[in-house]
Each structure stands twice: as C-alpha cells, then as structure tokens.
Amino acid sequence: MPISVGLLREVGLFPYLDETDLTWKDRFARNGFRHDLGTETGVTFHRAQSHAFRYLARGRSVVLSAPTSFGKSFLIDATIATTKPKMVVVVVPTLSLLDEQRRRLSRRFGSQYRIIYRNDQSLSDHRNILILTQERLRERDDIESIDFFVVDEFYKLNAKKPDSRNKCLNIVFSKYSKIAKQMFLLGPNVESEADFSRIHAKRIDSDSVTVASVIHKIIDGRPKTDRLIELLRSRFDEKTIIFCRSPESCRVVARALANSGVTFSSEYGEQLGSWLGKEFHPDWIVSLSLKKGIGMHHGSMPRSVGQQVLSAFDTKDVNVLICTSSLIEGVNTKAKNVIIFDKKISTSKFDYFSYKNISGRAGRFGAYMVGNVFLLEEPPAADEYAVEIPSLSDASNLSDDLVIGLSDFATEERFEARRAALVDRYKLPLEVLSRLATYSLDQISAVADAVRSLVKNADPSIMWRGADADYEQVRDVLNTAWAEFATKSSFRSGDQAAFYAFRLLYCRGSVRRFLDGLLRDVPQDRYQIVIDTALKSMREVDFHVPEVLRSVELIVNYYADQYKVASADYSSAAIKIENQFLPPLVKALDEIGIPVPLGLKIKDLVSGFENIDDALRYLRATSTGSLMDFGLTEFEAQMITLAAS
C-alpha cells in the first residue's frame, strides 16, 4: 500500500483517495464516508466533515468552527440535498460572499428552488433559498417560518466589536433564530463565550485541515518590493495572491511590478484590461495591470469588476491577484500561494485571527493539497479570538442600544421596563427606535433634534415627496443626518454625497464620462487616487444615500403625524439613487457581475423580462454567437456568459 494512501486514510482525508489505488480494506473505509445526496455517484466527506454532517442530516442545529478549506459551505449543500427544507435562509456578511453562495447554490439547486438574493424578488409558493446580507434580510417582512437558517461567518455576531453591521446581524439573528427549525452557524476557528444550548445547537470545534500550509519567512534588509519581485519570478506559472493593506498599497505593488518588467502572459487578462480601459479609463491601474497578467481586487472597485477579475483568476489564465481584506471573509479562491506584503488592514495592525484567515487562502481542497504562505513582515503573536453573542450571553449585560434592537429576544419584564424608560428618555416611540437600532440611541436623538423644528414649520427643504427630487432637496435631507447616520462613509458631508449622486444622474451609466469629468484639470500623477475615490463613491452612493434618506423619513413622518402636517416621501428618490438612476435590471445585472457599461448594451435585449431571474435564464440559454448578433464583441459575450453561469 502506498505510504500516501495510508497517511490520507489515517487523517481522514478520504476525498483525496483515488479508487484505483485502494485495497478492498481502504475502499471499505472510504465508502463509510460516502453519502448519497441525490447525485449519481454520491459524495465523499473527510472524517471531520462527516462528523458534522451526521448531526445536520438528523435535523440538529450545529455551530461549526473550523479552518479555511474545511469544506464548510459544502455542508450547506449536503444538508439541503438530504433534508429538503422548504424555506432556507443563508445570511452572509458581504455582497462578495453573497455572489459566491448564489452561484454555487444556483448551480446545485436552481431547478428545485427559487434562489432569492435581492429584495425585489418575491417568495415562491413552493421552495425558496434566500441568500441575503443582514441588511437585506432585515428589510424583508414576508418570512414567517424557516426550515434551515444559516449564518455564514458567525463570528461577525461578536458584540466586542460593535458597529452598525454587527448590530444589524444581531437583530436578524435574534429575530429569526426564534422561528428556525434548524440552524447552522459556520465560521473560522474562534473561541466563544456564548451558550449555544439556548438554541439547542451542537457545538463542533475542529482543527482538521484539508490542505497543508507551508510558511516561508522572507525577511531581510532588502526592500519588500525586491523580495516580492524575486518570488514572483520564481513562481510565475502558479496561482498567487498578494495581500496588501489598502487600495493604495495595491497600487504601490502594481507599479513596482510594472517598473521591474514583471509581466505574465494572459490572453484573457489582456482582453479584460483593454475592455476596462475603454469603458472605465485607459489610465486606471486595474486595467493597466490586467494587460500585464496581474489582477486586482479591493473595496474601491465596482463589485462587478471585482467579480470579473476574481472569475478570471479562478477560471482563466490570470495567475496573479493583488488584493486587500476584501477577500478574507469566506470568499473561496484557487490559489497555491499567498504572499502577505503588509501586516496591516488599512491603518491598523491585523491580529492573529486575520493573519490566519489570510494564510488560509493558500491551497484549496481538491485543487492544491499544499499551499505556500510567504511572509514579508513578521506575523502577529498567536492569540485567541473570543466571540460574544449578545442574544446567547448574559442578557443583564445588554447595552441600551441592544435592549432596543433585540426586542424579539429580551421579553422579560425587566427589559420591558428598560425599554419603556428609554422611550421616555429619548421621546420617540419604540417602533421608531427599534427600526433605527443599527444606530446608537444618541445618534438617533441627535437627528431627531435636528429635524423636529423643520417638520413643525413644514420646512420645504425636508417636507417633499416624489421621485423627481432635485440636488438641493436631497442634499438638505442628507445634511440633517449625515454626521450621525453615515459614520462609515468616506463622504465628509451630505453635500458631498449628493454631489456624487447627481453626477451619476448626469452620466446616465457612462462610467467613462463620470471619470473623465472628475479627472478634468487633475495632474496625471493623481489620476489613480481620483479614479479609486470616484469608483468607491459609486458604491457608497448605492448604499449610504438611500439608507440615510429612508432613516430620516421615518423620523420626519413621526413628527409630521405629531404636528399634523403633510408627510414626506423620499422612497422613490431613494430607489432611483440606489439604482444610480439606471433601469433596475441594469443594476441587478451589475450585482451578478455584468458591469454597468455592458449591462446598458444589453438592456433592450432583457427589457422584456420582469425580473432578474428570467433575464438570467435567458442569458444562460443564449449562445455567444447570438449575443454577438446583438452587437456585442466576442469578448463581451464571454463576460456575460461568465457572469451569468
């Protein structure tokens, strides 16, 4: 028996065993970890996977803490295939992870379930799989029961690092854990002080790894870029991720590689770079780098472009990807090597938990059994990452903000009294406070103070209705709340947010026109900074402006009712801005990886469809030749096929 077979069997990595190399005893052992999931041949789990699956298959709730490449997401698929739940809800922390889950679950279950990932999609009367961020899930009011409730990256519930997204996740977890028949919380290795028995969940902590990570320290007196260039030259034909702290650091690395003449042959990368140069800007470093076979992925890029680059890295001939922490949180990549160029995330040193997550991108179960991690800085000291989940911890320690937000959890009389006292203190009803509970009570109070007298006097600057609001109206509403309700935005004021929003109205989807206008009279050495800032602003307009408009409207209309004046209605304006003044279907296509300039080219092709599902089905069934007949280039047709698959 080959030694490798014996070792794989001993550690339980049965999926790696090749049937043709096995003795009957090994084949018998391997078959003990095979499960019929409705596929022709079934699937084989590794030992630790099989242990978790046995609980899930019996309908037990499970909290799984395990390393990257464990195959946690596959357990979601296996549970759905086995237990066949009617209503599945999967909560993900980011839109990048949402897209990855959507693609996988659509391929596996699209013919059996309605796959829902946007809030303009309605529930089916038959079977549904909802894949939503916590913000999107909180906006829905049509979920009455859940058969299988999944929280991906559950460490994001950690109350020790509270922010608006953390509060939102805790609110939806508190609400929907009460009606879920089965729950699956999955994430990386963490310590937790939560009492999971309160949700009747089996806790499984596993250190089982399916890939081996070899750590290489390359730390000497030479500049980091010199060490990086040497590394890449020796591994030019291997899939390699370079982790940087920020978009600016990504640009530094990309320039260093370009100046040193380090390039990689990539036909697909050259085509994608040329297309982005034409439709976005020819001097954009993402475009220039792709032409040299180097991809880039960070939070200042349009999501659809990031998805195209990531797909090119995973499935095409782009072998090098420079990225930031945008890829840390659960997004799977097929990389043999990870080079950690920086030891910070933005301006903060990353902790051991983040370091392990980044390192875990090296290797891939089923693709690279051994991954390499190259360190150009000393790693952080080992420590534990402890998670505290408010609704599963000592309820007496809940902050005032969470007492308001977790109203479905804190039902005891003492919390009712606390909430009543808070309502009296802040002079706002519980339904308003709880709806705005992702903000702090002091932030809500400050905005209420700012708008109260304006409403009492029926000030037209905020008492307006309709979709055709002008710049001044939107600006004035945003300015009443921007400092309190948009603390995570890079926009300094409501004026700046409104400026970028209405620049998008003027450009009507032409990103090139949007960027050209902002680059006018800008020195060329500042182009990259302005381009990154402008593209990031498009993402922020999508989220922050509509969110602030809707939040202010809630407070305004409470006072409008109190003072008996006509109510305001910003909802139509919020929807238009959320869609960047484009047809909603174009923005929906952008979310699944078809950039806006390309979506506009096919808007007439899909305009007859009522929703994104029908449009995607049509695009999947349309050949490259047929798309070219509609006026697209062959490469544009390939981009659509890649995104729609």
Ramachandran angles phi, psi of 462, nearest 5°: -125, -10
pLDDT of residue 167: 92
Between 10 and 511, where is the model more confident? 511
621 within domain boundaries: no
Ramachandran angles phi, psi of 481, nearest 5°: -135, -5
- Pick from 165, 172, 109: nearest CA to 140: 172
* Alpha helices for 195-262 (secondary structure H): 224-234, 247-260
5 within domain boundaries: yes
Q: pLDDT band at residue 345, thresholds of 50, 70 and 90?
A: confident
Tell me how far apart the terminal alpha carbons of the chain are, to the nearest angstrom: 42
Among 155, 189, 205, give the residue marking a domain's end. Answer: 205
DSSP secondary structure letter of residue 368: B
Residue 367: pLDDT above 90?
A: no
Lateral strand order in the sheet of 87-92: 114-116, 128-133, 87-92, 148-152, 183-187, 61-65, 201-205
Between 559 and 238, where is the model more confident? 559
Between 617 and 560, where is the model more confident? 560
- pTM of the full structure: 0.89
Pairing of strands 348-349, 344-345: antiparallel
pLDDT of residue 11: 45
Q: pLDDT band at residue 14, thresholds of 50, 70 and 90?
A: very low
407 within domain boundaries: yes
Query: Which CATH number characterizes residue 96's domain?
Result: 3.40.50.300
- Radius of gyration over alpha carbons of the chain, in Å? 26
Query: Count of domains in the chain?
Result: 5
Residue 430, strand partner residues: none
The tens digit of pLDDT for each residue in 457-467 reads 999 999 999 88
Same domain, 462 and 366: no
Among 180, 205, 230, give the residue marking a domain's end. Answer: 205
Mean pLDDT of 373-395: 84
Looking at residue 636, its amino acid is E
Q: Which of 100-114, 344-358, 593-607 has the lowest mean pLDDT?
A: 344-358
pLDDT of residue 644: 87
Q: Per the structure block, which two tokens stand in for 11? A: 């550690």
Same domain, 8 and 57: no
The span from the CA of 342 to the CA of 108, in Å, is: 38
The span from the CA of 45 to the CA of 34, in Å, is: 6
Most confident range, picked from 141-145, 377-381, 606-610: 141-145
Q: pLDDT band at residue 10, thresholds of 50, 70 and 90?
A: very low
pLDDT of residue 330: 56
608 within domain boundaries: no
Mean pLDDT over the full length of the chain = 88
Residue 93: pLDDT above 70?
A: yes
pLDDT of residue 362: 81
The span from the CA of 402 to the CA of 404, in Å, is: 5
Residue 69: pLDDT above 80?
A: no
Q: Which of 363-377, 481-495, 517-531 has the lowest mean pLDDT?
A: 363-377
The tens digit of pLDDT for each residue in 517-554 reads 999 999 999 999 999 999 999 999 999 999 999 999 99
Quote the Cα angle for 612-618-623, to 5°: 140
Most confident range, picked from 231-240, 348-357, 475-484: 475-484
Contact between 116 and 123 under an 8 Å Cβ cutoff? The reply is yes
Same domain, 322 and 350: yes
625 within domain boundaries: no
Between 258 and 43, where is the model more confident? 258
606 within domain boundaries: no
In this structure, the dihedral spanned by the alpha carbons of residues 146, 148, 151 and 157, taken in order and rounded to 10 degrees, is: 50
The tens digit of pLDDT for each residue in 282-304 reads 999 999 999 999 999 998 899 99
The span from the CA of 217 to the CA of 378, in Å, is: 8
Same domain, 185 and 269: no
Same domain, 191 and 217: no
* Alpha helices for 152-239 (secondary structure H): 164-176, 224-234
- For residue 600, give Cα distances in angstroms to 230, 504, 509, 603: 43, 14, 7, 5
Between 607 and 19, where is the model more confident? 607
Same domain, 419 and 327: no
Same domain, 47 and 154: yes
Contact between 119 and 139 under an 8 Å Cβ cutoff? The reply is yes
Same domain, 453 and 597: yes
Between 394 and 465, where is the model more confident? 465
Q: Per the structure block, which two tokens stand in for 176? A: 């929907």
Contact between 40 and 24 under an 8 Å Cβ cutoff? The reply is no
Same domain, 221 and 182: no
Same domain, 41 and 144: yes
The tens digit of pLDDT for each residue in 440-451 reads 999 999 999 999
Same domain, 43 and 187: yes
Residue 41: pLDDT above 60?
A: no
pLDDT of residue 21: 59
Mean pLDDT of 588-608: 93
148 within domain boundaries: yes
Ramachandran angles phi, psi of 338, nearest 5°: -125, 125
563 within domain boundaries: yes
Domain boundaries, position 8: 1-31
Residue 412: pLDDT above 80?
A: no
Same domain, 182 and 234: no
